[in-house]
Amino acid sequence: MRFLLIEDHEDLGRSVQERLMLEGHAVDLAQTLAQAREFQQAAVYDLVLLDIMLPDGDGRVFLTSQREAGNTTPVIVMTARAAISDRVGTLDMGADDYITKPFDYAELEARCRAILRRRGGVADTRHRHADLTFDPLAGTIEVNGETRELRSRELRLLEVFLGAPGRILSKDHLCDRLFSFSEPVSDNAIEVYVGRLRKKLAGSRLRIDTMRGLGYRLSGT
C-alpha cells in the first residue's frame, strides 16, 4: 500500500515513515500542505495520515477540501488535541479515524490495518483466490495445505496483482505502488520482487506472466 504522511515534526515524521515502511508500505512524507498537494498530483494513495497544525495551514481545512472535491481516500488524523469536541468535529469533517499524540506505533499500525480492511469490506482477513488462501494481516499464503510466509514487499506486490487480476501492470505502475519518492529503486527491483513472489506462488494455479515490453499480468484467478 502507498501512504501519504503529512507531518511537520521532522523526527516524528521520519519515525512513523520508517516504522510503516518496515511493514512494507511505500510512505511519502510531506511537511507542508503544499508539498502534500504536489505528491497527490504525482501518485495515488491508499491512506493519508494527517497532522492538524502545519506551517502553511490547518489540516482540517485540507481534509474538508479533499472531501468536497470527492476524494474518498481514508484519512487518519494525528494531533495532540484530545478534547471530545475536537475528535467529533474532525470525524464530522470526513476523517475516518483519529489518534492522539503521543501514540504507540503498534496502535497506529493497527488503526491503519483496520481502516484498510473496512474499506475493502472484509471482516475475515483471509481471501480465497483460485486454490490459494491469502491472509494479508498474517502475511501468509496457503498453497495445497502448505503455509508460506511473505516478506513485506512480496505481500504488497501480491496485493497489487490481486487488486487487478488479468490486467497488464507496467513496471512503472508497480514501482509507484511499492516504493515512495524518497526510496532509491534499482532498474531491476521489480524483476527481483516478481521473481521472489513467483517462487512463493509455485504449486498454485495463480501465475505472474511477463508481457514483453509491457509489464506483468496475474492469471489463473
**Percent of the chain, pLDDT > 70?**
97
Give ∠ CA 32-33-39 in degrees, rounded to 5: 95
What integer pLDDT is reported at residue 82 of this predicted model?
65
Q: What distance in Å separates the CA atoms of residue 174 and residue 184, rounded to the nearest whole number?
A: 14
pLDDT at 117 exceeding the cut of 80: no
pLDDT digits (tens, 9 = 90+) for 18-64: 989 888 888 999 999 999 999 999 998 999 999 999 999 999 999 99
Q: Which CATH number applies to 2-119? A: 3.40.50.2300
State the Cα–Cα distance between residues 183 and 57, nearest whole angstrom: 27
In which residue ranges of the chain is CATH 1.10.10.10 found? 127-219
pTM: 0.68
Distance from C-alpha of 2 to C-alpha of 29, rounded to nearest angstrom? 11
191-210, pLDDT tens digit by residue?
A: 999 999 999 999 999 999 99
The fold adopted by the segment(s) 127-219 is Arc Repressor Mutant, subunit A (1.10.10)
Q: Which three cell numbers stand for residue 31?
A: 511537511
Q: What is the predicted pLDDT for the residue at 87?
A: 76
pLDDT(123) > 50: no
What are the residues whose beta carbons fall under 8 Å from the beta carbon of 36, sequence distance 6 or more?
4, 6, 30, 62
Taking 3-state DSSP, the helix, strand and coil percentages for the chain, each rounded to the nearest 5, stand at 40, 25, 35
How is residue 122 written as a grid cell? 472484509
Q: Where in the sequence of the chain do the CATH 3.40.50.2300 domains occur?
A: 2-119
The per-residue pLDDT for 121 is 53
Contact 220, 207 (CB under 8 A): yes
